[in-house]
């Protein structure tokens, strides 16, 4: 009986998100380049589903995550309250000035801000709208001479900018909450792993059932290619784990690249790049990790 080759376990469920999607992308690229996929019994539909899950996973890895804490929002709110209070105090203090034009400007602008007094204690959105309205009123042409006389232009700008920053943080947190309701990376990883495991089972079964020596040689070559990629990414993962351990003793040790997205191959439907490297080249299991420009995209 011929010796049957096995596909080595990848341990990819332990990989970081980048390393995980990088590993599966490399496997997908290698399977895509198999000329006759009937030899390994991997259907175009299964390979397309695998590629789609990898593409989704890669997009989730690239998606910016807004980390807006309650503390940051509270600080921004306190800053805008302070800016508004300073502006109002400047205007009201001018009413008591002994310089006639300053006193006149103070009285005129006190009337302008009177509808907005106490807005610092309003609810978030109401205060935001109130500050916007107050800034607009103070910047009206009819009040420009008064603003110039009191030299409160910078104070108006400070209140306006602080209000905008608070609003920006609130919107960012809302968007982050919406993003968290989207599909989670961990769920996509499970589907990607399931596709990979199914493909490995089909390839191994193809080897068991194959009776044509030439076809068996093709299948054996595919298994060798997969094992080379498995070994490469295992090495990268083990190196990263080793550095995590050594970091506690030698904090100045440079941390290795844990695996960026691969550049090998092309988008589905395009001619492969003749300059692409086969897995396993370079030192320590495959050389540099690939760039994130060539992920599978199902067309």
User: What are the pLDDT digits (tens) for 15-37?
Assistant: 999 999 999 999 999 999 998 99
Mean of pLDDT values over 138-150: 96
SS (H, E, C) the chain: CCCCCCCCCCCHHHCCHHHHHHHHHHHHHHHHCCCCHHHCCCCHHHHHHHHHHHHHHHHHHHCCCCCCCHHHHHHHHHHHHHHHHHHHHHHHHHCCCCCHHHHHHHHHHHHHHHHHCCHHHCCHHHHHHHHHHHHHHHCCHHHHHHHHHHCCHHHHHHHHHHHHHHHHHHHHHHHHHHHHCCCCHHHHHHHHHHHHHHHHHHHHHHHHHCCCHHHHHHHHHHHHHHHHHHHHHHHHHHHHHHHHHHHCCCCCCCCCCCCCCCCCCCCCCCCCCCCCCCCCCCCCCCCCCCCCCCCCCCC
Distance CA 250, CA 244 (A): 10
Instruction: Indicate the angle between helix axes 17-32 and 213-247, nearest 10 degrees.
Output: 160
The pTM of this model reads 0.49
17: Cβ–Cβ under 8 A, 6 or more apart, which residues? Answer: 57, 60, 61, 185, 189
Residue 256 or 43, more confident: 43
Distance CA 19, CA 258 (A): 6
222 token code pair: 């595919």
Residue 156 structure tokens: 């108006």
- Does position 273 have pLDDT exceeding 80, yes or no? no
- Which one has a higher pLDDT value, 173 or 179? 173
- Highest mean pLDDT among 4-13, 20-29, 241-250, 251-260 belongs to 20-29
Structure tokens at 246: 């050594």
- Cβ count within 10 A of residue 48: 15
By C-alpha distance, which of 6, 2, 39, 12 is closest to 193? 12
> Considering only CA atoms, which of 259, 166, 154, 208 is closest in space to residue 41?
208
Residue 63 — pLDDT band, cuts 50, 70, 90? low
Whole-angstrom distance, CA of residue 214 vs CA of residue 287: 32
Q: What digits encode the pLDDT tens for the residues 88-141?
A: 999 999 999 999 999 999 999 999 999 999 999 999 899 999 999 999 999 999
pLDDT at 66 over 70: no
Residue labelled with tokens 């000329």: 35
* Nearest residue to 134 (alpha-carbon basis) of 150, 118, 113: 113
């Amino acid at each position: 009986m011929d010796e049957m080759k096995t596909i080595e376990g990848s341990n990819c469920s332990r990989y970081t998100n980048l390393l995980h999607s990088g590993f599966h992308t490399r496997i997908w690229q290698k399977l895509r380049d198999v000329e006759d996929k009937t030899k390994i019994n991997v259907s175009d539909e299964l390979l397309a589903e695998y590629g789609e899950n990898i593409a989704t996973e890669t997009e989730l890895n690239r998606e910016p995550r807004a980390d807006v804490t309650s503390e940051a929002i509270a600080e921004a709110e306190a800053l805008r309250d302070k800016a508004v209070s300073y502006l109002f105090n400047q205007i009201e203090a001018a009413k008591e000035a002994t310089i006639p034009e300053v006193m006149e400007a103070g009285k005129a602008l006190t009337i302008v801000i009177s509808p907005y007094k106490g807005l610092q204690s309003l609810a978030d959105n109401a205060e935001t709208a109130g500050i916007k309205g107050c800034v607009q009123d103070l910047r009206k042409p009819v009040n420009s001479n008064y603003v110039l006389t009191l030299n409160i232009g910078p104070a108006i700008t400070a209140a306006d900018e602080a209000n905008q920053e608070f609003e920006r943080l609130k919107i960012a947190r809302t968007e982050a909450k919406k993003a968290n309701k989207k599909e989670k990376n961990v769920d996509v990883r499970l589907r990607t792993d399931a596709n990979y495991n199914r493909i490995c089972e089909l390839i191994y079964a193809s080897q068991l059932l194959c009776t044509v020596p030439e076809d068996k040689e093709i299948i054996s070559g595919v298994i060798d290619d997969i094992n080379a990629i498995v070994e490469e990414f295992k090495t990268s993962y083990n190196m990263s784990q080793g550095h995590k351990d050594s970091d506690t003793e030698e904090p100045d040790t440079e941390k290795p690249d844990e695996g960026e997205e691969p550049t090998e191959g092309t988008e589905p439907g395009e001619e492969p790049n003749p300059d692409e490297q086969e897995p396993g080249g370079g030192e320590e299991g495959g050389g540099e990790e690939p760039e994130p420009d060539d992920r599978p995209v199902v067309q």
